[in-house]
Amino acid sequence: MGAFSDPQANILLSYGCSPVKVDNVTESIKNLNATLLDLRAQLNSSKYFAIAEQARGLEPVFAMVQCRKYLSTADCVACFDIAAKPSSRNCSADVTGGRFYYDGCFLRYESTNFYNRNQDGHYGSCGEKNTASSAYQASVESLLSDLQIASPKMPGFFATSKKEVVGETSVVYGVAQCVETISKAGCQDCLTVAYGDLQRCFSAADADGRSINPACFFRYSDTPFFADNQTTDLKPFLRNGSKSQKKVLIAGLVGGIGLLLLATVIQFLWLKLHKAPKAVPREGDILQELRGPVNYSFKELKSATKNFSEEYKLGEGGFGEVYKGVLQNERVVAVKKLAISQSHRVKAEFEKEVKIIGNVHHRNLTRLLGCCSNGPELLLVYEYMANSSLDNFLYGNLNFVRTS
């Protein structure tokens, strides 16, 4: 799709003429016209975001305009001209302000400085229901998630992107943009609210949707509204992982721990079939069971494994490496480093799963003693089994390194 000319000056929402009246109408009109002329001059010099103010006198005016950066300068100015017309604003001359939203631009003016406000009301607008497929909905969610994460990290708080729908010929297009007078954190907060507005749209199988907020704009559609050469490379700004990627990590974490639990159950059945002799629980073991999984410090486990040295390494498999460890009380344990990236949500899921598995106790089971989630690695601490039996039960002979 090549470049196209369109100011996108279809009005979305006239949020309003202020109910507050000015005292001096003549001075207010004069100051407003001066700020609008100033804004237009800035847009004509190839700017896409501008502020202007007439702060002197009894009727100050603070104004802001923002165009979508995929517009040409001419289209940006054309959108502003339509928004700035008195007939478009439809506000009486004696009010102190108003907000006017278009697909291509946004104009706002007030009698007080509003530049740093990031939650001045928000509005979600969903298109007509189009019975969008589940594949389309998934693509929308993934695209908006990436835009929500990347846009606050980008110069000008602006990003456009598109995503092909798997198994279909359709494409979803999206844009996210914050006003440039707020902070990165303010942009993140605004887009979080906007994402919630749009979630109602794509969850209802709408083919397009918009979230309109004085501090940010979020839109998706199955119809292209910017040229292909206007898309943004989001990858450098997604290195910490998108929401969709985090979901995959969490699913992998839960699945991996689930497999560990399955291996433990298999071990239990194996021992039952071989009629392992009953053992009398020691007092220390009983107290350990009553306490549940221990939350070890990373420093403690690092020391116990001699900084995870090769000398103490027992084996490795699809979910990480296992090391022998000797705790300060001289108890020998097996420490497993999970090969899973971390985030706040991943840690929460990890700790929840550890609590579940840690409550499964039997004298013939290799017990989970505890974990560590407060360091650079997610670690599981198991009861140590000599002669590599732990490794065999967890991995079979996969990538076995050494016994101890």
Please report, in range form, the residues annotated as the binding site for ATP.
337
* 262 φ, ψ (degrees, to nearest 5): -60, -40
* 51 φ, ψ (degrees, to nearest 5): -125, 155
Do residues 350 and 253 make contact, with C-beta atoms less than 8 angstroms apart? yes
Binding residues: 337
Residue found by looking up tokens 């009486």 in the block: 92
Residue type, 269: L
Residue type, 66: Q
Q: Count Cβ atoms below 10 Å from residue 11 Cβ, excluding itself.
A: 13
Beta strand segments in 103-149, E: 105-110, 123-126
Closest CA to 351 of 324, 326, 376, 374: 374
Can you state the percent helix, strand and coil of the chain, rounding each to 5? 40, 25, 35
DSSP string, 23-42: S-HHHHHHHHHHHHHHHHHH
What are the beta bridge partners of residue 52?
63
> Rounded to whole angstroms, how far apart are CA atoms 320 and 54?
63
What DSSP element (H or E) covers 140? helix 134-150
